[in-house]
Structure 1
Amino acid sequence: MSRRGEPVPFAFVADADRFRSNVEPPPRERATAGELAGRALLTLVVVAGLVGSLLLAWPALDVRLDEQGQRQEAVQER
């Protein structure tokens, strides 16, 4: 394989690392009132769902140690 006879300009390679484009991306579009209302409504629905599921599951999460102790005593007496 033959190599190119031209030397590589190392100054150009060093400048390439520091190069910054002068082209700016377009500014972000602002959300419309409808989009903001939709996001707020979606957030409200998600939070309400989490709270509702917690309220519905609350009885199942309630552990009553007194009733369990009485049940175990009744089983042991038999």
Structure 2
Amino acid sequence: MFRRREPVPFAFVAESDRFRGNVTPPPHERASAGQIAGRSLLGLTLVAGLVGSLILGMPALSTGHSSTSTQQSQASQGH
């Protein structure tokens, strides 16, 4: 099999990875103090929410040994 060297339409698309333009992108603007404060406040709020949900959810995740033992003792007294 051999390749044909005929020009194909839209050949520039295949060569686009080799093309380097002379236009440089604009520099990134520095964030203002208000933007930095807002981002940090948002991050702290998210972290505080996760920690708070973990603290409030810990009693639900713990196994209640004391409550099961009292239920068993009341059930054995009833029989």
TM range (shorter): 0.5 to 0.7
Structure 2 CA distance for aligned equivalents of residues 44 and 17 of structure 1: 42
Aligned to 2:64: 64
Aligned to 1:52: 52
Question: How big is the shift at 1:55?
Answer: 1.3
Question: How big is the shift at 1:8?
Answer: 2.7
Aligned to 2:24: 24
Aligned to 1:8: 7
Q: Which amino acid aligns with 2:41?
A: L
**Residue ranges of structure 1 left out of the alignment (5+ in a row):** 1-6
Structure 1 CA distance for aligned equivalents of residues 52 and 67 of structure 2: 27
RMSD: 2.6
User: % of aligned pairs identical?
Assistant: 49
Runs of 4+ residues deviating >4 angstroms = 12-17
From the superposition, tell whether residues 64 and 17 of structure 1 become closer, same or farther in structure 2 (CA, over 3 Å). Answer: closer
From the superposition, tell whether residues 35 and 17 of structure 1 become closer, same or farther in structure 2 (CA, over 3 Å). Answer: closer
Aligned to 2:34: 34
Count of matched residue positions in the alignment of Structure 1 and Structure 2: 70
Normalising by structure 1, what TM-score? 0.65
**Residue ranges of structure 2 left out of the alignment (5+ in a row):** 1-5
Q: Which amino acid aligns with 2:7?
A: V
